[in-house]
Homo-oligomer: A and B are copies of this chain.
């Protein structure tokens, strides 16, 4: 692999586009492909080359990155008709930055390994804000030597890239991250709802709780939004639900009881049924508000 490998990027959504931009800014040549046109145009304007299929992108680059929505999307662009595997050759590296099933990850990785291609799973946290700023937290599974080879690219895309173990374990750690985040949101909402119904000064409550042993990123960043009745998505509830579905699949496969994460998953179902799937995850507060017959506000 050259000092500055040719990069292919497949999946130009709200995460992929800023990542491509950051790679271009860092001096990488990037060939892009997307299932729909709008994402492509923006990247071409920014200096990327247009690929004609995942297979062609893989044929013409050294490191192919994918960032799509769910397990079937990864299977399609990797192993489907015209998929990246059709451009496989010894020494090619594939990096999947989507959040998908650890089991599917291992299946896709094995298919590539059979063609002499090393694949990393490298899901991220930090949202579109982190993708734009290049401050993502990247959780990586796969071959350690490949992880080291891709290091300079991870340095461009994120603040930290953490090696978590063999293939699939990057995905597992990402799912663990989603468990903790989701249940931290429940924690925050339960603290807020009791305070609200008791008539506490809610800004004082958020300040007091944030500064101590009960503090969390969610409390510091999402509780003030709830007090302002701001339910715009930093992270969409329906995407958190997709991740919690993957969590529940892993929990089922591994026989691990996750009562708190299961509870949040079910409460989110109720909010999705009410058409709130496009709101931010802080809308979990609305589920507790309905149960308590009161509203949280500043």
Q: Is A201 an interface residue when CB atoms closer than 8 A count as contact?
A: yes
Given contacts A173-B200, A183-B260, A187-B187, contact A213 B205 (CB under 8 A): no
Q: A172-208: which have CB < 8 Å to B?
A: 172-173, 175-184, 186-188, 190-195, 197-201, 204-205, 207-208
Q: Are the C-beta atoms of B208 and A251 separated by less than 8 Å?
A: no
> What is the distance, in angstroms, from A201's C-beta to the closest C-beta of chain B?
5
Docked pose: A251 CA to B198 CA in angstroms: 9
Say which residue of B169, B184, B256, B259 sits within 8 Å of A199 (CB atoms). B169
Q: Are the C-beta atoms of B215 and A173 separated by less than 8 Å?
A: no
Given contacts A126-B213, A208-B139, A217-B213, contact A187 B198 (CB under 8 A): no
Q: Are the C-beta atoms of A194 and B176 separated by less than 8 Å?
A: yes
Query: Looking across the interface, which residue of chain B has its beta carbon closest to that of A288?
Result: B257
Q: Are the C-beta atoms of B127 and A165 separated by less than 8 Å?
A: no
Q: Are the C-beta atoms of A163 and B204 separated by less than 8 Å?
A: yes
Per DSSP, chain A at the interface is helix
Query: Looking across the interface, which residue of chain B has its beta carbon closest to that of A195?
Result: B176
A194 contact set on B, CB distance < 8 A? 172, 175-176, 179, 247, 250-251, 254, 256, 258
So how many copies of this chain end up in the complex?
Answer: 2
User: Which residue, A125, A137, A179, has most C-beta atoms of chain B within 10 A?
Assistant: A179
Q: Are the C-beta atoms of A195 and B172 separated by less than 8 Å?
A: yes
Q: A83-123: which have CB < 8 Å to B?
A: 102
Query: Looking across the interface, which residue of chain B has its beta carbon closest to that of A261?
Result: B190
A172 contact set on B, CB distance < 8 A? 194-195, 198, 200
Q: Are the C-beta atoms of B260 and A201 separated by less than 8 Å?
A: no
> What is the distance, in angstroms, from A127's C-beta to the closest C-beta of chain B?
7
A255 contact set on B, CB distance < 8 A? 197, 292-293
Q: Is A26 an interface residue when CB atoms closer than 8 A count as contact?
A: no
Known: A168-B198, A184-B216, A256-B294. 4 other contacts (CB 8 A): A164-B204, A169-B198, A172-B200, A183-B190
* Residues of A in contact with B (beta carbons under 8 Å apart): 102, 125-127, 137, 139, 159-160, 162-166, 168-169, 172-173, 175-184, 186-188, 190-195, 197-201, 204-205, 207-209, 211-219, 221, 235, 247, 250-251, 254-261, 263, 267, 288, 291-294
A-B CB contact pairs (8 Å), 26 listed: A126-B212, A137-B208, A160-B208, A164-B200, A166-B199, A173-B209, A175-B194, A176-B205, A177-B208, A178-B214, A179-B187, A180-B187, A180-B190, A180-B191, A180-B214, A181-B187, A182-B187, A183-B183, A187-B260, A190-B259, A198-B250, A215-B217, A256-B288, A256-B291, A257-B288, A259-B267
